[in-house]
Amino acid sequence: MNKIKLEAFTIKDIVFLAVITAVTLLASAPIAPIVMTVTKLGAQACAMALPFGLLTSIGLRKVKKSGSLIIIGFFSGLVLLLMAPVMFFNQLVATLLSEGLALVLFKSYENRKAVLFSAGLFSFFTIPTTAVVNILAKGRTLAEQIGNPLSFILLVVGAAALGFAGALIGNRIADELKKAGKL
Amino acid sequence: MNNPEKNIHPILSLLFSLILFVTGLLFVKKPWFWIYLASFFLLFLLFCFGRTMLRLIPFVLILGALTAGLTAVNGKPSDILYAFYRVLAIALAGVLSISVKPIKLVRAFNQLKVPRWLTLGLLIVIRFMQIFYEEIQQIKQAIVVRGIRFTETPLLWARAFFIPLIVRVLNISEGLAISLETRAFSTESEGTSYEIIAFEKRDWLFTALFSACLLPFIYLSLGGLK
């Protein structure tokens, strides 16, 4: 049985992951302030799923080392720490869960499904952390956060679906770039 | 007004920003929330954060109006007010963190022996957000010149936007990595700091006054004076 391989990151990898994080944050910047204060659980994840899925999947196609998504989570979390401090934990936990699960299932990013899974579920996994943060920091119960169950289910499914759609588009772009000899 | 050289220690700023973020959101529904806001407002004015607060006014007004408007769709009048208060609480926490100079934060992290790859990455992300903002504007202009409209051909628009963007990401990161390697940057080596970021009297005074402002409200929220 294959094991999860841990490789050291070079400066080249770190720089690429940092730059892709900057672009991801910029791509989500027009939507982020609008959903930042929305109290409905899942709304933020749903809004961020597409740009995060798309750009992180390209990042993972270029740097196929275990821990790449966690590094993206660290970088985006550290920048968001300056704007909304709780977002740091949100990003970090989401990348840990998403990458952890993807690597447990597929072992390495050489498998394209691992990239799809990891990048696609990044936003989705911010939902549990957001719920915990809302309970601890805002004193809002889970029932209050969920509100109407139907709209909550739609938001959760939407976050996963948009994340996967983004990751799929990202993979297509990565394929084209690979064909052109750029990736 | 706000001299960046006179800012609070970056790590303290981040820590206090986090505390203000959490307590601000916790206290939103308290009747004394305005006193809480006013006391920190005065504290920030006292420590010359006036310019940073002025910079945040458009953010508060636009985002406050937007979130209050969205809440007004199916919320009670009190919910609309709380939505606006939440934006105020976030802005209050943002005053300290926005005032942090990225390079000073990175130097403070380096002094705390935070791994080099992490501080370097943070600096790149912050620096390159501005660069890529300009790149994105150029790509958008090129798309307009070629007559591609998002409303008419969204798929073609996305292709014309994302592929050049990613190619630029690849080219810039390649160049930057080579430039860093030639300057002996590596993920393993420990760097030296050009400037030592130390705790000063101003930081201790700010900590004392910050605690003096915050503790009464924590006491009140825990059911004090009943």
**Quick one: pLDDT at residue B1?**
44
Residue B70 has pLDDT above 50, yes or no: yes
**Quick one: pLDDT at residue B79?**
82
DSSP states of B103-160: HHHHHHHHHTT--HHHHHHHHHHHHHHHHHHHHHHHHHHHHHHTT--TTT-HHHHHHH
Q: Give the residue, B208 or A132, on which the prediction is more confident.
A: B208
- Residues of chain A in contact with residue B90, where contact means CB-CB under 8 angstroms, are 36-37, 84
**pLDDT tens digits, B152-163:** 888 899 889 988
- Residues of chain A in contact with residue B59, where contact means CB-CB under 8 angstroms, are 33
Question: Has residue B69 been placed in a domain?
Answer: yes
Query: Do both B29 and B78 map to the same domain?
Result: yes
Residues 65-104 of B with CB under 8 A from A: 66-67, 70, 83, 86-87, 90, 93-94, 97-98, 100
- Residues of chain A in contact with residue B186, where contact means CB-CB under 8 angstroms, are 11
Please tell me the total count of domains within chain B.
2
Domain that includes residue B38, residue range: 4-100+198-221
Question: Has residue B158 been placed in a domain?
Answer: yes
Q: What is the ipTM of this complex?
A: 0.84
Query: Do both B66 and B152 map to the same domain?
Result: no
- Residues of chain B in contact with residue A26, where contact means CB-CB under 8 angstroms, are 129, 132-133, 136
DSSP states of chain A: -------PPPHHHHHHHHHHHHHHHHHHTTTHHHHHT--STTHHHHHHHHHHHHHHHHHHHH--STTHHHHHHHHHHHHHHTT-THHHHHHHHHHHHHHHHHHHHHSSTTSHHHHHHHHHTTTTTHHHHHHHHHHHHH---HHHHH-SHHHHHHHHHHHHHHHHHHHHHHHHHHHHHHHTT--
- Residues of chain B in contact with residue A16, where contact means CB-CB under 8 angstroms, are 169-170, 173, 177
Query: Do both B143 and B90 map to the same domain?
Result: no
Q: Are B128 and A38 within 8 A, CB to CB?
A: no
* Over residues B93-119, mean pLDDT: 86
* Interface with chain B: mutation pick from A78, A79, A90, highest number of B CBs within 10 Å: A78
**Quick one: pLDDT at residue B225?**
58
Question: Has residue B204 been placed in a domain?
Answer: yes
Residues 156-175 of B with CB under 8 A from A: 158, 162-163, 165-167, 169-170, 172-174
| Ranges of each domain in chain A | 11-179
Query: Do both B92 and B129 map to the same domain?
Result: no
User: Residue A62 and residue B97: Cα distance in Å, rounded?
Assistant: 32
**pLDDT tens digits, B117-155:** 888 888 888 888 888 888 899 999 999 999 999 888 888
**Residue B18: closest CA among A78, A85, A132, A76:** A85
Q: Which of B22, B87, B181 sits opposite A11 (nearest CB)?
A: B181
